[in-house]
Amino acid sequence: MAKKYNILLLTNRDSDNVGDQVIEACDIALIRTVMKNLNIKKSNYEISSRAAAIITKKYVKTKNTQLLKTADDLIKKTDVIVFGGAPVFNYLYQIFYERTATTLEIAQKYHKPVIFSAIGVERYEETNEKCQRLKKTLNFDCVKQITTRDGIEELTKYKEREDLVISRVSDPAVFTAQVFREHNIAAGKIKSQKKIGIFVFRANGFIDNKIDFTKDDAAKLWKDLVEELESKGYDYTLLTSGHFGDEAFLDYLIREHGIKESKCVFNMNSADKLIKQISSFDAIISCRLHPSIIAFSLDVPALGLIWNSKVKHFYECIGYKERGIEVQGINAKTIIDNLEQVMVQGVAKDEEYLMSVYRSLFYGIQRSLNMTDKNIQPYDYDVLIQHIPVFPDTSVREKEEKLKRKFRRVYETLNVRMDKNKVQEEKIKNLREITSQYTMFYHTGEKGKQLTFIKNESEINGTMNTLPTGALECKLSEPVNNDGSNVFLDNIYQNGSKEFCGWKIRFRIGQLWFWYLEDELFCRKGECDEKMEEKMKLFHPGDSIPYLPFPGVESVVVEARWH
């Protein structure tokens, strides 16, 4: 009897981002094509597709080895493990690295070959213990091959074994058009009006990746893009690739910025729905990487707004470097002008680039399964297209399961944040129990002869002063408790014909001064540019003076603002 092979595919299949579901589907299709290429019948192998996180968070936290039993049993009975596209190297802000390292330790124990296919690579750090923990396990004998879609320079730094095969390949989702060919709803259709897909990114996605492009900047850009498209007569849809943070921001745009709900698509939870949406567009604008990759496969021109180097790398790899756009200084008109150009240019593809992910999988699986017939070579592009299997519709049951997992992740996130808020509240409470006091000054915020006092010292319980700069200032006689229990005074100055707007505050700790901004944020004086000036919170007479959650606040200056 022919041997029956068990292939364990580990992807990010349970992610909210439906692009990861597309990766899983394309990986399964490519592996099935490899097995056919190797003359292994479908009845003689089984693909077990699981989330890459088969090592639980609870194990990572407790190190209770009893929690490894499921993963241990799964790996023990497999013949080859394929990591497909999951963020398995992530250690800077996530715990994937530990899950990956533990998975490799089990694979090494049972001598099970491991292939990493088209994975994303986080930067390498020689002195980072987490990074070095990952590096050690990646160089186990069980690891036969590592390919990446973007970070080959970083991947090279992880390699120590000379016989470890590494290379740069295409993302499996470049075969979306073939795997999801029955879900391409635009094939052969002639449309009277061009339609653009705008994939919205979560509120602080750029800021979290150290790019100075705020929630307000993003909201303005999406709104401006809509207005620009409308002025040019294009149809459009705003949507996401499923991440609940992206969908939350889309809802925010509707509620706070007047985006029409009728032009938005929510509940992107299945791969086939995402493919149908993208295939209906004449072009897309996206921050998330996989809408760009899927559009490329479907011959839909795309522009990628860069929030992560992987977006930039992808557009470089497909020969369209100029279609990856940095967001600093960008405006809606420039983006739409660029989009019109790419719609004229269309999409061209390099078959060698497309085939790189398939060939690497073919050779990796061939070596891992000890297939000794070297006369069997990987299919060429045309033959692969003939044999690659099609993705079936997502069943009702699968859709319900995906939705349930998504909501449970939302619940988990909310619970974590509620716990963090509770801890923060306790910290603030403890700080307030050891209340500090500071000296408070009311300042005119401007200088000039037109400035006069309209209150006297007895009314304010303070001392009036004219500063060398010509500005006026009142120093309160009594120290103020830093506990949020006091309120701002009424306006105490006359500034010619100008109208008083309110108070802005800065405070001193030691020799450093800070401005109080919106959303309980702070900016060091001297580092606040014009954009930060707009974000300084304006208080009004009678408003509570905010608690300043820092020890050692010595002075607070309240500055008047006028127009």
**Strand 451-453 to 45-51 pairing:** unpaired
270 near 392, Cβ under 8 Å?
Answer: no
Tokens of 232: 């040019």
pLDDT value for 484: 85
Rounded Cα gap, residues 208 and 548, in angstroms: 24
CA 496 to each of CA 122, 176, 562: distance values in angstroms, whole numbers, following the listed order: 59, 68, 10
Tokens of 287: 């921050």
Chain centroid offset of residue 284 CA = 18
Question: pLDDT below 50 — which residues of the chain?
Answer: none
DSSP 138-195: HTSTTEEEEEESS-HHHHHHH---TT-EEEE---GGGGHHHHTGGG-TTTT---SS-E
Classified as helix, coil or strand, 551 is coil
pLDDT digits (tens, 9 = 90+) for 460-471: 899 999 999 999
Judge: domain 5-175+351-391, CATH 2.60.40: no
Rounded Cα gap, residues 382 and 354, in angstroms: 12
pTM comes to 0.75
Closest CA to 25 of 182, 173, 243: 173
The CB-based long-range contact list for 365-374 (8 Å cut-off, 24+ gap) reads 365/7, 365/31, 365/34, 365/35, 365/38, 365/80, 365/82, 365/115, 366/34, 366/38, 367/113, 367/144, 367/145, 368/79, 368/80, 368/113, 368/115, 368/144, 369/5, 369/38, 369/79, 369/80, 371/38
**Strand 522-524 to 512-516 pairing:** antiparallel
Rounded Cα gap, residues 290 and 241, in angstroms: 8
- Would you say the C-alpha torsion 430, 433, 438, 442 has a positive or negative sign? positive
Report which residue type is found at 77: K
pLDDT value for 158: 95
Cβ burial, residue 370 (10 Å; 0-12/13-18/19+): exposed
pLDDT value for 91: 82
The CATH classification number of 185-297+301-345 equals 3.40.50.2000
